[in-house]
Amino acid sequence: MDLPNEHWDGWPRVPQWDVDPSDPAMTGGEEHVRLEGWDFEIWWQQHPDQLMYVAIQAMSDDPVTQGPERKHPIGRNVVVNLVYCQRRESVVAVYGTARDFRPFIEAFRIGCGLSPQLQETEV
């Protein structure tokens, strides 16, 4: 198998491996949310099984408090990925470098306009 380019036909199915950001047939989007002093860049793609695969990058200024340290040119950068199940209206997986995932979940909710009991066509 020429990984990662070969299609997976094994069991169990892994829907995430069906997602391809370069596939124009799949619905996706980008959103920007400013929350709690952070800029959240959100990229998402819709899977036919009512799953959204989401990557969220959060950036903030990296102030120098005391000492000779130089400010990092891009500030602090934290990345989180999540999978949202539209049928269950739930985040079913979340992982990344953040200590606290809650602001990422909130930025995702705001950026994608989610509210309880959305109709499938509204997402």
Q: Give the residue extent of every domain in the chain.
A: 27-122
pTM flag (> 0.85): no
Rounded to the nearest 5 percent, the helix, strand and coil shares of the chain are: 15, 35, 50
Find the Cα–Cα–Cα–Cα dihedral 88, 105, 21, 86, rounded to 10°: 10
How high is the pLDDT of residue 18? 82
pLDDT in tens, the chain (123 residues): 456 667 778 889 888 888 887 888 889 999 999 999 899 999 999 999 999 999 999 998 766 556 666 555 556 789 999 999 999 999 999 999 899 999 999 999 999 999 876 555 554
Strands (E), 48-96: 51-60, 76-85, 90-96
Contact 44, 112 (CB under 8 A): yes
Q: Look up residue 14 and give its two tokens.
A: 């892994």
Among all chains, which residue has been given the structure tokens 């995702």?
108
